Every structure is written in C-alpha cells, then in structure tokens.
Amino acid sequence: MTQDITLKKIDTFADHGDDDGACETHIEAKEFSLFYGDFEAVRKVNMEIPKKRVTAMIGPSGCGKSTLLRSINRMNDLIPSTSAGGEMIFDGHNIYAKNIDVVTLRARVGMVFQKPNVFPKSIFDNVAYGPRLQGIRNKQELGEIVEQSLRNAAIWDEVKDRLQANALGMSGGQQQRLCIARALAIKPEILLMDEPTSALDPKATAKIEDLIGELRQNYTIVIVTHNMQQAARVSDLTAFMYEGVLVEFGNTKQLFTNPENPQTENYITGRFG
C-alpha cells in the first residue's frame, strides 16, 4: 500500500533527453571524510559528479548530505574545529590541499543556501556583488552581467523596473531566484544548492525547479533536498546517504524505481527517514 502511493507520487522524472551515461567527471571525492571535532559527519565517500548534470543528494536529516555539499566549496571552514580526510578533487587539484586559495575556489563553485540570504542592498548591488569582488568596475559591463544573470535566473522581467529597490522587499521565491542570479553572476562552473526550496511555497518551488532544468545546460549542479519528488523531478543522478555513508549513487530513474540497496528502497518507499 505504502509502496503503491509512493510510486504513484514519484512518477515524473527529469527527461533531459540527452542522457547517454557517458560524460566527464567534474568533481571527484576519493575516500573523503569530514569531521566536526571527533564526530565523523561524512565517512570515506567515493563519488564522481559528472559535468553539466544535475546531481541530487537525498537522505534523512543529519545523514551528512549538506556537509558533503558544503565540503565542495569548503564552506565548512567557517565552523571551528572541522577537519577533512581523503581527497576532494576539482580541476585536477585536491581542494583541501594547503596551497589552495579558498577565495578562488568559491568564485568557481557558486552556492545557493537553504534560506534566501540576499544582502540588505539594492537588487542591482546584490547581483553585482560578485563581479565587483572580481574587480569589474565598468558600469556598462556590470549592467550587462547583472541583466544576463537575472535573465538566466528567470527573474529579469519581474525586477527590471526596480533594480535599485532593496532586495529585502521581494517575496521569498523572488529572493531565492535573486540569490541564484547572484551566484550565476560570478560565472561559476558548479552550482551547489543546499535545500534551495525548503523555505518556499509550491509555486515558487516549481519556478526554481524549472530554472534548475534550464541551468543544467551550462552548469554542473549539485542539489541537496529533503523532498524526494523534487530529486526525481530535477536530477539526472541521485546519491542516497545514510549516517555519513554514501549508500547508493546512480541514475535517478533507476535509483527510484529499482534501487540496488535495501536501505535505499526502505527510505524512498517511506519506511523510515
């Protein structure tokens, strides 16, 4: 019974039409572990995230999926007493090596957070924040980048007349798309999304999901979500994590319809988690 309903719910899968299975690896985790003090939040994960695909991470709360996501641009550094083991390879380098410049890494790996976190500045200044950091001062150039980023984030038509208005005056869904535009403005190669729709209503969620489908053509996207339907709808590949361990990782449709691991099956059919 439970299985029937669950299966019925998850019946729409991402259909990007170009899935041949063979594509370049963009990020690779090799025996990667992450510790908060003594606690091992991510345990020896091996994972290859392909280029220009949407990879979803699912799993119960506290399973380490967000930690793994935030390890990709070293946002965990903000928390004192974290340490990493193994390797996280991006562009041929282990990003946890000593000589890595975190600032450059983060400029290449953009991130969208759970709650919309726009700056208390104008819409324009929000999007222009990243480019300005990179030293772009030319007004025309900035204007073009801002417009392009806002168009890519499918919010241009809604805000083009009030670019100088404070971003905090927008709705939650608009703010989140502005955050995506802000992340796109630094021209990243990878976009990390940490439960980007969990604070939004269904309508705004649908818009963001559509947007992810479009962004897929140009960016590698890694998305953490609590919502299994969402993972099924937007992703090409899905990773299931449990207690810090990567239990199963593979083609989304296959993972949801025919999981190899019984734990995965239990989780996606709603028996636990």
Partner 1 sequence: MRLETRKLLDKAFSGLGLIAIAVMAVALLLILTPIIWRGSKAFVFRGTVEHRRVMLEQFDRGNPDRFNQEAAQVAAARAPIYQMMEAFEAEMKAMKSAERREYQSAFKEVEKSIEQLLGPIPGEKTPVLLRQQYGQTRWDRTLVKLHEVLYSEEWDYSNPDAMGVLVETPRSEHFAGTQLEPLFPYLEEHLDEMMNPKTTFYWQFITDTSKDSHIFGGIWPEVLGTIYLTLGAMLFAVPMGVIAAIYLCEYAREGHVISFLRICISTLAGVPSIVFGLFGLAFFLNTIQVSDSKSVLAGSLTLSLLILPTIIRSSEEAILAVPRSYKEAALGLGAGRWHTVLTVILPASLPGILTGIVISMGRAAGETAPIIFTAAVSVGAPLKLWETLSQPTPALPWNIYNLCTEHEAVDEIRHVQYGMVFTLVAIVLILNLFAILMRARISKKLRG
Return residues touching partner 1 (CB under 8 A): 73, 75, 78, 80, 103-104, 106-107, 110-111, 113, 115, 117-121, 129-130, 133-134, 165-169, 179, 182-183, 186
Q: Which of 209, 144, 143 is CA-nearest to residue 176?
A: 209
CB of 185 to partner 1, least distance (A): 8
| Burial call 35-68: b when 16+ CB within 10 Å, e when fewer | beeeebbbbebebebbebbbbbbbbeeebbbbbb
Of 41 and 247, which CB lies nearer to partner 1 in the complex structure? 41
Of 5 and 133, which CB lies nearer to partner 1 in the complex structure? 133
CB of 174 to partner 1, least distance (A): 12
For the four alpha carbons of 124, 126, 131 and 137, in that order, the dihedral sign comes to: positive
Of 215 and 228, which CB lies nearer to partner 1 in the complex structure? 215
* Cα–Cα distance, 181 to 157 (Å, whole number): 13
In the chain, where does DSSP find H-type helix?
Answer: 2-9, 65-71, 102-108, 123-133, 139-152, 156-159, 172-185, 202-215, 228-234, 252-257, 262-268
CB of 201 to partner 1, least distance (A): 20
* Cα–Cα distance, 178 to 156 (Å, whole number): 9
* Cα–Cα distance, 149 to 233 (Å, whole number): 24
CB of 176 to partner 1, least distance (A): 12
CB of 90 to partner 1, least distance (A): 14
What is 64-104 written as a DSSP string?
A: SHHHHHHHTTTGGGGSTTEEEEEEEEETTEETTSTT--HHH
Of 148 and 166, which CB lies nearer to partner 1 in the complex structure? 166
Of 95 and 118, which CB lies nearer to partner 1 in the complex structure? 118
Q: Are 241 and 57 in contact (CB under 8 A)?
A: yes
Of 127 and 255, which CB lies nearer to partner 1 in the complex structure? 127
CB of 265 to partner 1, least distance (A): 35
CB of 171 to partner 1, least distance (A): 12
Of 17 and 80, which CB lies nearer to partner 1 in the complex structure? 80
- Are β-strands 25-36 and 245-251 bridged in parallel, bridged antiparallel, or unpaired? unpaired
CB of 218 to partner 1, least distance (A): 18
Token output for 116: 């919309």
Of 174 and 263, which CB lies nearer to partner 1 in the complex structure? 174
